[in-house]
Structure 1
């Protein structure tokens, strides 16, 4: 009986971690717009300081979600998809963002993220558009 209680407690504690949960493409819904998440190149996710996960089908959905929050909640993780490696996420605050009309995103902002500025410059050279950092994207998309 003690062993069963120990194992149950261990699983409970493991479930309370502050890690990003895997995204189930084609079945998970966006916590902002409620669309089904299917695009691995534009997904975003945040994890609160208490370990609650929120998944988004587009970076712009996460930005709009953050804009609607009344309090300045402390977020443990802010993640965005790396356009160069669909399905992989990178830190939202250190990512480099591009808006290019030739690269559509699920919600129509044409917003994508990349790990490095050199990758962003290459994509902009081929497709046109503009480069932004995290704070610039927050300002561009938020209308508070």
Structure 2
């Protein structure tokens, strides 16, 4: 009985400590993975969007609009969503901090013209 009680405590502490760290976006190689919504290969990293759920499941998308549609259709409870900075594709911005615009000046993979920027100043040259 004593051993089983300690085993349960150890298991609980392990799970809690593993979930305490900061969750970060994963870096991908071009063409390595497909969009979880439309199944297109993710090749233009300027539009790469990813999310993680509260259960720890990670999803990748080739465009912001794919992520938005996926979340709406599946009614996913997201823990964090990151969007790629259009001007520096290897940099992720938490979606709630990003300036997301829709413009005809940018051709996104799904044709919606959505792009994410760090600031309004960065986005202003691309706005209609």
Verify same fold: TM over 0.5: yes
Task: Say which of 49, 57, 62 aligns to 2:54.
Answer: 49
- Residue aligning to 2:100: 97
- Residue aligning to 2:79: 76
Deviation at 1:104, TM superposition (A): 0.2
Alignment partner of 1:123 is 2:126: yes
Give the Cα separation in 2 of the matches to 1:100 and 1:37.
21
1:63 counterpart SS class? helix
Contact in 2 for aligned 1:21/1:53 (Cα 8 Å): no
Of the structure 1 ranges 26-35 and 84-93, higher mean CA displacement relative to structure 2 is found in: 84-93
Contact in 2 for aligned 1:19/1:51 (Cα 8 Å): no
- Residue aligning to 1:136: none
Structure 1 residue ranges (4+ consecutive) displaced by more than 3 angstroms after TM superposition? none
Per-residue displacement from partner, 1:46-104 (whole Å, max 9, x unpaired)?
0111221100011110000011123x52x221001111111211011121111111210
Q: Report matched runs for 1:21-60 at 5 Å.
A: 21-60=26-65
- Residue aligning to 2:91: 88
Contact in 2 for aligned 1:18/1:49 (Cα 8 Å): no
Gapped runs of 5+ residues in structure 2? 1-13
Q: What is the TM-score of this pair, normalised by structure 1?
A: 0.69
How many residue pairs match? The answer is: 111
Per-residue displacement from partner, 1:15-53 (whole Å, max 9, x unpaired)?
xx8433222321200000000000011110001112211
- Residue aligning to 2:110: 107
Larger C-alpha radius of gyration, 1 or 2? 2
1:93 counterpart SS class? helix
How large is the Cα RMSD of the aligned pairs? 2.1
2:111 counterpart SS class? coil
Q: What is the TM-score of this pair, normalised by structure 2?
A: 0.77
Gapped runs of 5+ residues in structure 1? 1-8, 129-144
